[in-house]
Structure 1
Amino acid sequence: MGYLFLALAILFSVLGNLFMKLSNGFKNRTATVLAVICYLIVTLTLTFSIQYLEVGIAYAIWSGTTILFVALIGTIFLKESRSLVKYVALSLITAGVVLLQIAA
């Protein structure tokens, strides 16, 4: 059950970050409201997930996976910068999340 809540937290965190980008500095009110709603859902689902999982493990998986997905979506759909260093760093984050999962 903890991993279901964690997956929902990751999903809404990624969506919240995308809506934050689309809000254009709070100029787009719809995107701003959607970002706030997503972050409220993230807070709830992450709180529920740590009832079942270790807080350090859950937080590391949540933050690392969110960073990975947001960075990849940014480079693919938002035409953000691409570089070898960026992809190596994302690979290291992925390796860290996998190792933490194995350790748990």
Structure 2
Amino acid sequence: MVLEKQLRLQNFEDGYKGGGGRSCRTIDCLCDGIVEKRFITEGAFVYEWEPLFHIKTSNGVTKKIEIGVSGFIDKIYVTPGDSVRSNMTLAILKEDTFPSGCD
């Protein structure tokens, strides 16, 4: 399995419906393929670099989708077995704005 960061972050304005004043980000796929596994559910809290999806490309390589911020999953647009395209939005994350300790 190739452990590549296959995502593109895009900030939304705070006025995004459902944003609740938090910064929202899209979790976008940067490759074509099939959703092999989904590790998240709507409303769940995710930590930085936690695996969110596995995408299997047409050449059989599995790409791990992860994100460098913590927050709550607001919306998920794909399920296992769905075909995905490069730049397709997989989910929306409401970024956690509370400070936390780090290693």
Decide which structure has the larger Cα Rg and report it.
1
Q: Do both share a fold (TM > 0.5)?
A: no
TM bracket, shorter-chain basis = under 0.3
* TM-score (ref. length: structure 2): 0.26
